[in-house]
Amino acid sequence: MTAVPIERRRYRLLTGPDDAAFCDRVTAALDEGYALYGSPAATFDGEHVIVAQAVVLPSATTHETRPV
């Protein structure tokens, strides 16, 4: 099985501290053709807010899904 370069994976979950760098990463993914998928998530680890946002390539949402 050949690994797909990360920049072209159909699904990516971006995570990190809630800061400008995280927003820049999400913006970069959108500029690369990804679309937001679902709601963002946030948690607090006792010291920092950690956030997550899923992004998908638009073609990924048109694939047929099968039960596992």
Please tell me the predicted confidence (pLDDT) of residue 43.
Answer: 98
Please tell me the predicted confidence (pLDDT) of residue 63.
Answer: 56
Domain-wise residue ranges, the chain:
9-59
C-alpha 27/C-alpha 4 separation (Å) is 21
Do 8 and 58 contact (CB within 8 A), yes or no?
Answer: no
Residue 60 has pLDDT above 70, yes or no: no
C-alpha 68/C-alpha 59 separation (Å) is 21
Alpha helices in the chain (DSSP H): 20-31
Distance of alpha carbon 40 from the chain centroid:
9
C-alpha 1/C-alpha 24 separation (Å) is 32
Residue 68 has pLDDT above 80, yes or no: no
Each residue of 11-59: pLDDT tens digit? 999 999 999 999 999 999 999 999 999 999 999 999 999 999 999 999 8
Please tell me the predicted confidence (pLDDT) of residue 8.
Answer: 76
